[in-house]
Amino acid sequence: MWMIYGANGYTGELIAREAVRRGEKPILAGRDRASIEKLATELSLEARVFGLDAIDLSGVQLVLHCAGPFFYTSKPMVKACLEAGAHYLDITGEIAVFEAVMRKDAEAKARGVTLLPGVGFDVVPTDCLAAQLAQRLPNADELWLAFDTGGAGLSHGTQRTMIEGLDKGGAIRRDGKITPVKQLYDVRPIPFARGEKMAITIPWGDVSTAFYTTGIPNIRVYNATSPRTIKRMRRMLPFLPLLRFKPIKRILLSRVKRGGPDATHREQGRVQLWGRAARADGTEVTLTNEVAEGYAFTVLSSLAAIKRVLAEPVQPGSFTPAKRFGAGFVNEVSS
């Protein structure tokens, strides 16, 4: 028996509906009684209503945690899973969450629990690409990963997470350590398979996870961004410190509309991926890939991860997706 916590959110609901289409019967859980019970009734599933201060995992083997921002919500759910002996998976892309979960490795092993954050678009495609690059160039000391979502829309939860982190700047990994950097730390053209695009460094989850997957000490992640947007971002940089004032941040958060990309965008959208691994002597390899639109991919990859964790012998500890399932896991993700 497994559970989706945050099943009333945009991505959680998509996963719940696809799970039912496949004949699965997850428990739907969250703190909003009206929306959780409405969805559970529609899908003929069990509902559990609780907040993160009173988590009920009785009889649950695995939790897929979909309630963000994960910086606030992951810690209590991880703790509850460890205490209940339930495996923990989530769809985060937040560096701080990955780092916190990786620090729980010894405890997870002692309790026989798998902790596996980032089983969605954040970070399965890029994590697998990182693993493939490391296999092709052993002993690489630099890794660049980039993606282009084609300007796809964002869910309510993703927008809230981005606003929460705007005042914190960027991040790269330098000599094995996560290092804060300014926003727009590096701007450069990236040769995606469908054509070159400008891209900017962002504090994507792989700054954390790719190090655990590959051991490569210097990591940057880039997001394709139009020159017009880059110019606008440069003009906004002096004002970002204002977001440290909670009233201003609350105003921005209050303006985020619920929902996300519609079915047409999810079905037709594609994400371009590019990666580069290099050594100090100048040797380098590059790879490209293409996957489904980000939210559509997250539905498929999270269900694929759940299926494998429940079906395979328990591997306790903290894992990245490619570390747990291998570099080819991205190719297993399908409808």
Domain range for 146 is: 124-293
Structurally, the chain folds into a number of domains equal to 2
- A 10 A CB-CB count for 308 gives 16
Angle at 256 between CA 8 and CA 97, to 5 degrees: 65
pLDDT value of residue 164 = 57
pLDDT value of residue 129 = 98
Contact 9, 120 (CB under 8 A): no
Q: Are residues 85 and 138 in the same domain?
A: no
Q: Are residues 277 and 300 in the same domain?
A: no
pLDDT value of residue 234 = 84
Beta-bridged to residue 292, according to DSSP, are 270
- A 10 A CB-CB count for 38 gives 14
Q: Are residues 113 and 35 in the same domain?
A: yes
- Written as six digits, the tokens of 97 are 């969450």
pLDDT value of residue 248 = 54
Q: Are residues 147 and 287 in the same domain?
A: yes
Contact 123, 109 (CB under 8 A): no
pLDDT value of residue 198 = 96
Let me know if 270 is exposed, middle or buried by CB neighbors in 10 A (0-12, 13-18, 19+).
middle
pTM, to two decimals: 0.92
CA–CA dist 178, 33 (Å, integer): 39
CA–CA dist 175, 137 (Å, integer): 18
pLDDT value of residue 96 = 96
Q: Are residues 271 and 130 in the same domain?
A: yes
Q: Are residues 140 and 209 in the same domain?
A: yes
Q: Are residues 73 and 203 in the same domain?
A: no
Q: Are residues 169 and 234 in the same domain?
A: yes
Q: Are residues 110 and 90 in the same domain?
A: yes
Q: Are residues 194 and 138 in the same domain?
A: yes
pLDDT value of residue 150 = 81
Residue 3: in which H helix or E strand, if any?
strand 2-5
What's the CATH code of the domain at 251?
Answer: 3.30.360.10
pLDDT value of residue 120 = 97
Pairing of strands 270-278, 142-148: antiparallel
Per-residue pLDDT of the chain (335 residues; tens, 9 = 90+): 999 999 999 999 999 999 999 999 999 999 999 999 999 999 999 999 999 999 999 999 999 999 989 999 999 999 999 999 999 999 999 999 999 999 999 999 999 999 999 999 989 999 999 999 999 999 999 999 999 998 666 555 555 555 555 566 799 999 999 999 998 999 999 999 999 999 999 999 999 999 999 999 999 999 999 999 888 888 877 766 655 656 655 655 566 566 677 888 889 999 999 999 999 999 999 999 999 999 999 999 999 999 999 999 999 999 999 999 999 999 999 65
Q: Are residues 283 and 253 in the same domain?
A: yes
b/e 161-199 (16+ beta carbons within 10 angstroms → b): bebbbbeebbbbbeeeebeeeebbbeeeebebeeeebeb
Q: Are residues 277 and 137 in the same domain?
A: yes
What's the CATH code of the domain at 101?
Answer: 3.40.50.720
CA–CA dist 212, 214 (Å, integer): 6
